[in-house]
Structure 1
Amino acid sequence: MRALWAMLCFLALPLWADEPLSGWAVYSTDKSYDQLVADTKAAVKENGLIVVTQAGPTKAAAARGITIPGNLVIGVFNNDFAVRVLETSVDAMIEAPIRFYVTENDDGSATLSYKTPSFVFAPYVYEGGEPLRDIAADLDTKFQTVAESAVK
Structure 2
Amino acid sequence: MEWTALVATLVGALIGVGSTLATDRARWRRETGERDRETLRTVSAQFLEALTEARDTISDASRSGHLPADERAELARAATLTHGVHAKQYQLELLAAPEVGRIARDASYRLLLYRDVVVAGHLRDDPECAEARRAFREARQSLMTAMRTALTRP
Task: Using structure 1 for the length normalisation, give the TM-score.
Answer: 0.34
Q: Which has the higher helix share?
A: 2
Task: Using structure 2 for the length normalisation, give the TM-score.
Answer: 0.34
Q: Which has the higher strand share?
A: 1
Bigger relative CO (Cα 8 Å, ≥ 6 apart): 1
